[in-house]
Amino acid sequence: MGFLGTIFGWLGSGLVAAFGNSVLQPILKTIQNGQDANRSVAENTIQAEIQANNAKALIAPSFKGLIYLTALPAIAHWAAVVADSMPWLPYFGAHVVGSWRVGALPPDYVTIETIILTAFFVSSPLTTLAKAGAAAMLKR
């Protein structure tokens, strides 16, 4: 391998000496232009994503009520299941457990309902607490 490297090195240096900048300079310029174009595309893409995220952040508060309304069916179903599984109002004629016959959801919907309820009652409060904790730590 050392012998071949020596031969190719000698051959390459001979080509550079023979042709010089007349052949290599246009090749290097073409490579440089391609890299500049790729860098420009990447910068423009990042700028577009930043602008799109800023637009989303401006619009998001307008849809907060709509976002909560999407969780309303899952919350209502969960509340009905819980309320039907407990004997409540014992002094006013106790509720018979299971008398409402709230139907169970199909297995696919159970997963979706779980994700929705987790997002609203676990993830969202924990995220808010984490942001508040981070803000308190930054103030110190």
Q: Residue ranges per domain, the chain?
A: 4-102, 105-139
Question: At residue 41, what is the residue type?
Answer: V
Helices (H), the chain: 2-19, 21-59, 64-84, 107-118, 124-139
- How many beta carbons lie within 10 A of that of residue 105, not counting itself? 16
- Name the one residue in this structure whose structure tokens are 């987790």: 118
pLDDT digits (tens, 9 = 90+) for 88-130: 766 666 767 777 788 877 888 888 888 888 888 887 778 888 8
pTM listed for this prediction: 0.42
Distances (CA, A) of 107 to 59, 75, 93: 34, 17, 34
**d(Cα 112, Cα 114) in Å, to the nearest integer?**
5
Which structure tokens are listed for 28? 């290097």
Between 17 and 105, where is the model more confident?
A: 105
Residue 15: what pLDDT? Answer: 63
Contact partners, residue 16, CB within 8 Å, separation at least 6: 24
32-60 pLDDT, tens digit each = 777 777 778 888 888 888 888 888 878 87
Residue 30's pLDDT is 72
Compute the mean pLDDT over every residue in the chain, rounded to the nearest whole number. Answer: 77
Of residues 99 and 11, the one with the higher pLDDT is 99
| pLDDT of res. 119 | 82
The pLDDT score that the predictor gives to residue 24 is 64
Neighbours of 49 (CB within 10 A): 10
Are 89 and 95 in contact by the 8 Å Cβ rule? The answer is yes
Angle (CA) 74 79 84, round 5°: 130
Average pLDDT, stretch 63-80? Answer: 82
pLDDT at 2: 62
**What confidence score (pLDDT) does residue 118 get?**
85
Give me the residue label for tokens 């080509």: 15
pLDDT higher than threshold 60 for residue 29? yes
- Residue 71 CB: number of other CB atoms within 10 A? 16
